[in-house]
Structure 1
Amino acid sequence: MSFSFFKPSRPKTPQDVAKAIRDSLAALDTKTVVEVKSLEKALEEVEKNFATMRCMILGDGEVEPNAEQVSQLAEEICKEDGISLLIHKLSILGWEARKDLVHCWSILLKQKVGPTYCCVQYIEEHFELLDFLVVCYDNKEIALTCGNMLRECIKFPTLAKYILESASLELFFKFVELPNFDVASDAFSTFKDLLTKHGNLVSEYLTAHYDEFFELYEKLLTSSNYVTRRQSLKLLSEFLLESPNSHIMKRYILEVRYLKVMMTLLKDSSKNIQISAFHIFKVFVANPNKPREIKIILAKNHEKLLQLLENLSTGKGAEDEQFEEEKELIMKEIERVARFTNLK
């Protein structure tokens, strides 16, 4: 007769894992933080629970994840207010726990209970969580984790719409110029997703907030930081020349102040910036309905503009041929405007 002193542990259910995550995160309160040893122990518990969550969501290399369990886990985490705790405790978590969270986050957001993405719905009911994630760009320790989580959120139209229309959007104009290059680059990636992932949403936003948005954007285009100028100019081309934003582009190319910005960028010391600026500048010039103010600026500066364009080249073979053709047409239009515009 054999005796077993150790009973095999019962496999944890999604409910068990969600509750364990909630309890261990809740233990990271201010009282615990005062006691370093207690905090270390609490963080170890969080890390252990996150590893269990990751194993349930992603599998362990030998056993594939169970789709039904993953869906149940997402639902239980929402029921336990785990999403809120996951976000609010980010700054206390260790590197390993944050890494596991990032691996799990996108999958949690994609889980459906019936027709509803339960975690997305939870965030829709607690939109302040998105504001919190944006503000976290100011904390370089967790900025990249928060940026990753934000980009996953932005894939869902309702969450992207909230950020676009919230006061948090204005913070990106500051974060993309933070002195920490990695954080600034990550913030720009998130900013780019906001302006390119959902064309119709962005079009509605720009229509309603045209003046304030482009006034802020002008500061990026005229920044003293080369990377900021180059990235923001490239991004402007991407979302301004998209079909849902054609009415925005038509409005943009009627404004003298933005023509002057492009003319300044045509003189930039960087060839890449000059080329990118040309692709927006040419739309101002090619516009058949140019207002008189635009024509006067082009006519007054036509000699300098022609000289600048004459020396501008991509140097990229077949691509350069198309560029040269476009450039020739634009130069002819500038000459035509200069001939027929009365400057008085």
Structure 2
Amino acid sequence: MAFSFFKLWPKQAPELVKCIKKSLIALDTKTVAECKVLEKALEEVEKNFVAMRTMLFGDGIVEPNANYVSQFTVEVCKEDVIVLFVHKLPFLGWNARKDLVICWSVLLRQMVGSTYCCVDYIENHLELLDFLVVCYDNKEIALNSGSMLKVCIKFPTLAKYILDSTSFELFFKYVELPNFDVASDAFVTFKELLTKHQIAVSEFLTAHYEEFFKLYEKLLTSANYVTRRQSLKILSEFLLVPPNIHIMKRYVVEVRYLQVLMNLLKDSSNIIKISAFHIFKVFVANPNKTREIIFILTKNQEKLLELLRNLSLGTGADDEQFEEDKVFVIREIQRLSRLPTVGSSSSSTHSVPPSTSKS
């Protein structure tokens, strides 16, 4: 006869939360220093986390009880277990971390009444988000903390806090960590922060334009191929959306960023060249080009035209929109060089901008 977890524990929600709290608190400095004691403590945590996972997901025979799940969610907040989940993460074993990540996703999405009580709890303990960000420095738990962060970022208030916090700047370091898996995961989290909630991102970029793009330029000019490729892709995704049109207009009159894109058009990677083109064409299509932008484009006309004519999607691919955009950019650069007075701030007023869709 198979025994059901739910039949064995009729009052399990409050009791299980207390057991989890007690076992996590036991992972103190003294316990960690003693191998045998630590091993026993970790076994207790792992056992309790298996019980937590069973309560939230069922046991394969019996489905989870919605009332128990709601009660459990309320209790982990009431007993401050959410704090322990985060701060004890570095001490947990592999299985316990895996179970915690799975359960964390369910807990944050669990509505009790009309509110996400775990999200509300984190809003009152925002330092937990900073802790999860800093965990990228620890390769043993980086992927676990990254998964927990991505769940948090789905909620606008939590994502906005990370964007505005001093810990956000750490992502410019984390995306170039030597550990490929950790750097890749950090890039995914970084992308989520910059694309998930467009209004919050727009407000952030407006308030921190100079410092953000100064740091972002370092990613675009990185010696690391993956960094250049990923940062270009993300730039397209947040720069060319409607809420950021004022940011895009500001960006495309900056000579330094035009020069970055021109250098990327010469990259050895065709993928990077194509990605760079999709942003470069916005500089060229801008109807309000500055004197400096026009000067750079005309001065480098010959080299740019050669690069553009040789630019293709590769592998026999054919994209009508891409070819149309390329023809437009070539013609616009040629037109600029024929202007009687190079440098007019509205020299491209009658140009028809190409599509900003990515090929």
Per the normalisation by structure 2, the TM-score is 0.91
* Cα pair distance change 1:111/1:216, threshold 3 Å: same
* 2:106 corresponding residue in structure 1: 107
* 1:263 corresponding residue in structure 2: 262
Q: CA offsets per residue over residues 67-101 of structure 1, 9 Å max, x none?
A: 12111111101111101101111111000001111
Equivalent pair of 2:23/2:41 in contact (CA under 8 Å): yes
Q: Root-mean-square deviation (CA), in Å?
A: 1.4
Residue 118 of structure 1 pairs with residue 117 of structure 2: yes
Instruction: Give SS of 2:63's match.
Output: coil
- Which letter does structure 1 place at the counterpart of 2:179? N
Residue 227 of structure 1 pairs with residue 222 of structure 2: no
* Cα pair distance change 1:74/1:297, threshold 3 Å: same
What's the offset of the Cα at 1:31?
Answer: 1.3
> What percent identity do the matched residue pairs reach?
71
What's the offset of the Cα at 1:260?
Answer: 0.4
* Cα pair distance change 1:10/1:144, threshold 3 Å: closer
* 1:290 corresponding residue in structure 2: 289
Equivalent pair of 2:336/2:342 in contact (CA under 8 Å): no
* 2:144 corresponding residue in structure 1: 145
- Which letter does structure 1 place at the counterpart of 2:244? N
Per the normalisation by structure 1, the TM-score is 0.95
Task: Give me the whole-angstrom Cα distance separating, in 2, the residues matched to 1:125 and 1:302.
Answer: 56
* 1:308 corresponding residue in structure 2: 307
Q: CA offsets per residue over residues 155-175 of structure 1, 9 Å max, x none?
A: 000000000000011000000
Task: Give me the whole-angstrom Cα distance separating, in 2, the residues matched to 1:208 and 1:343.
Answer: 33
Q: CA offsets per residue over residues 190-222 of structure 1, 9 Å max, x none?
A: 000000110111001101111110000000000
Task: Give me the whole-angstrom Cα distance separating, in 1, the residues matched to 2:45 and 2:341.
Answer: 74
* 1:3 corresponding residue in structure 2: none
Equivalent pair of 1:54/1:100 in contact (CA under 8 Å): yes
Task: Give me the whole-angstrom Cα distance separating, in 2, the residues matched to 1:43 and 1:236.
Answer: 43
* Cα pair distance change 1:60/1:339, threshold 3 Å: same
Counterparts of 1:195-210 in structure 2 under 5 Å?
195-210=194-209
What's the offset of the Cα at 1:320?
Answer: 2.5
* 1:171 corresponding residue in structure 2: 170
What's the offset of the Cα at 1:316?
Answer: 6.3
Task: Give me the whole-angstrom Cα distance separating, in 2, the residues matched to 1:336 and 1:47.
Answer: 69
* 1:127 corresponding residue in structure 2: 126
- Which letter does structure 1 place at the counterpart of 2:211? E
Residue 184 of structure 1 pairs with residue 183 of structure 2: yes
- Which letter does structure 2 place at the counterpart of 1:92? F
* 2:238 corresponding residue in structure 1: 239
Task: Give me the whole-angstrom Cα distance separating, in 1, the residues matched to 2:110 and 2:290.
Answer: 52
Equivalent pair of 1:296/1:341 in contact (CA under 8 Å): no
* 1:161 corresponding residue in structure 2: 160
What's the offset of the Cα at 1:112?
Answer: 2.1
What's the offset of the Cα at 1:323?
Answer: 1.2
What's the offset of the Cα at 1:108?
Answer: 0.1
- Which letter does structure 1 place at the counterpart of 2:108? L
- Which letter does structure 1 place at the counterpart of 2:188? S
What's the offset of the Cα at 1:114?
Answer: 2.3
* 1:18 corresponding residue in structure 2: 17
Instruction: Give SS of 1:134's match.
Output: helix
* 1:320 corresponding residue in structure 2: 319
- Which letter does structure 2 place at the counterpart of 1:57? L
Task: Give me the whole-angstrom Cα distance separating, in 2, the residues matched to 1:285 and 1:10.
Answer: 68
* 1:51 corresponding residue in structure 2: 50
Instruction: Give SS of 2:91's match.
Output: coil
Q: CA offsets per residue over residues 16-60 of structure 1, 9 Å max, x none?
A: 111110000000001112221111111000000000000000111
- Which letter does structure 2 place at the counterpart of 1:248? I
Question: Aligned pair count?
Answer: 337
- Which letter does structure 2 place at the counterpart of 1:164? L
Equivalent pair of 1:299/1:341 in contact (CA under 8 Å): no
Return 5+ residue gaps in structure 2 as ranges: 1-6, 344-359
* 1:4 corresponding residue in structure 2: none
What's the offset of the Cα at 1:343?
Answer: 6.0
What's the offset of the Cα at 1:11?
Answer: 3.6
What's the offset of the Cα at 1:110?
Answer: 1.1
